[in-house]
Amino acid sequence: MASHDFLAGRAERYERIHVQLRDLIAGRSPNLTAAMATICAVLHAKMPHHSWTGFYLVAGDELHVGPYQGPVACQVLRDAGVCIACLRTAQPVVVPDVRLFPGHVPCDPRSRSEIALPVVKEERVVAVFDADSHRPAQFTAADVEPLRKILSLLAPYL
């Protein structure tokens, strides 16, 4: 599938993934970790542009790696980077070229684009969902709402 075709069909792919994850997680996952791990596994397998897909868990002012798929991750994030920006603003962060993001933390030096979304419980960020790609501009604002919908499946476990 050409890159343009993939981008054009992304909304439909996200919807199919949401339905699959809803069926796998809702009332079936025993806890938050299992639900997060399932989300990572399915997104990583079904979204071919993801080189890393995972969660960082809030631990004070730091983020500690949680369930993920892909190469070895930074175990602790603090002070800078896309995920810390997401934590501090409690807003999604979409980065078409990580080399241009001030303070980017290169856990995998091959990463070229990234998206991070907050996981919120009672108006407080408790985790950050993060996805990286080895290709530039693989995430856009159009990814935010479908990913929020997928992350909403975690609500009963928070």
Whether pLDDT at 1 is above 50: no
pTM beyond 0.75: the answer is yes
The predicted-structure confidence for 77-124, as pLDDT tens digits, reads as follows 999 999 999 999 999 999 999 999 999 998 899 999 999 999 999 999
Residue pair 130/82 in contact by the 8 Å Cβ criterion? yes
pLDDT of 68 strictly over 70: yes
pLDDT tens-digit map of 14-55: 999 999 999 999 989 999 999 999 999 999 999 989 999 999
76 has which bridge partners?
64
In terms of DSSP H, where are the helices of 1-60?
Answer: 3-8, 10-25, 32-46
Angle at 38 between CA 4 and CA 25, to 5 degrees: 110
Structural domains for the chain:
3-157 (3.30.450.40)
Phi, psi torsion values for 2, nearest 5 degrees: -65, 155
pLDDT value of position 7: 59
